[in-house]
Amino acid sequence: MIIGAKWEQIPLLEAAKKSGHFVLATDSDQHADGMSLADAQEQLDPRDLSGALDLARKYKITGVTSDQCDYSRYAALFVGACLGFRDGNLAAAQSTTNKHWMRERCRQNQVLQPRFFACHTIEEVHAAIEIIGFPAIIKPVDNRGSIGVHKVDDINGVQEAFLDALMNAHSREVLVETYIEGTHITVDGCVDQSGKHHNLAIASKTVTSGSKPIITEVFYPAKIADDIRNHVLATNSKVIDTLGIDSGLTHAEYIVDRRGRCFLVEAANRGGGVLTSSKIVPLISGVDTSGLLIANAAGAEFFVRPTFKSAVVILAFFVFEPGWAAEISGVNLVEKMPGVLHFRLLVEQGRMLTSPQSGAQRHGFAILAGDTEKEVRELYKRAAATIKVRYEKRSGATRDIS
């Protein structure tokens, strides 16, 4: 049983079929891209735990897994716990799908992180900011993709930020945190079947300024000094151990400040989204991450033997000018460019393009690989120039932009 069948889960579904398994796929969207790859399909909201368990019993599944989605990973571990499977533990899911619980557990184990307060009311938010000062981060404790996350610089933005965070918090709880200025870092890894954690890929990120920070680029390997790199990787191993993650994939985010201190932003017991775990990490590390997840779910043997490569990889996000996109062309040409591992539009032509308010609202992305940064940067320029958007005004007038 694979919980989640959207485009991010296609590599996992393909790996399951390649291994010869009968696959039940579930997704909240019955028309999700990956549904057709499975032997059986069921519509399911991954937050519907009782529904997931009912389906597992209906189909008499012998294993369950997921990737790149916190809700799906939690549901998979919940079903596994109910049916007595041994792939991962629910305690780790509890710690990683709720940022408040994650912060508390890491504080108990002296992991460096921003000062934080869990809040339920605007009065509690104001009290927290009185202590930590501006700028501050206000965010939901249990959402993803930077949804509901705000940087507030003064009192005027607090109310709006709190209400948006609250609206996007399934538990109706928000975190108020000290804003840390520095380099944003991502570390992806896995836990082998002996329980040992492996750091597999480290990247630095470009993040927009403003009240709603959004990642626009992820660069591998991270542009940081070797001593900082070693410090971040050691910190990541400590965080994974602290959170009790003993199976599957890991994805964690950090900020390194100008003094070289590494602050935990968040960590998850899943692979990085936007095909990070299924395409980027295997290229860099040589580890078949989808194969590991399927083997864990099936109770099969799998050996993790990283064979690191010196490739440069950029996960680049596209944000087009706002407007009514009558036509978007050039996608097929970009997909055929050597070095383009994957390209996908996250918007449709014939729709209004708006400025993204979260990572989930970016307009598209490309995974680009090469031997040098210069080579990959030039590839990105060619790809960006090839994608053309023809905008249409309500009056019928059109204009082109690339």
pLDDT digits (tens, 9 = 90+) for 105-121: 999 999 999 999 999 99
Q: Which two tokens stand for residue 24?
A: 């039940």
Q: Which helix (H) or strand (E) holds 132?
A: helix 122-132
CB-based contact 34:17 (threshold 8 Å): no
pLDDT tens digits, 216-239: 999 999 999 999 999 999 999 999
CA distance 55 to 53: 5
Query: What's the mean pLDDT when you consider all of the chain?
Result: 95
Residue 336 clears pLDDT 80, i.e. is over it: yes
pTM, 2 dp: 0.94
Q: What is the mean pLDDT of residues 386-392?
A: 95
pLDDT tens digits, 347-383: 999 999 999 988 888 999 999 999 999 999 999 999 9
The radius of gyration of the chain's CA atoms, rounded to the nearest angstrom, is 21
The pLDDT score that the predictor gives to residue 397 is 47
Residue 394 clears pLDDT 70, i.e. is over it: no
The pLDDT score that the predictor gives to residue 401 is 53
CA distance 55 to 50: 9
Q: What is the mean pLDDT of residues 81-97?
A: 90
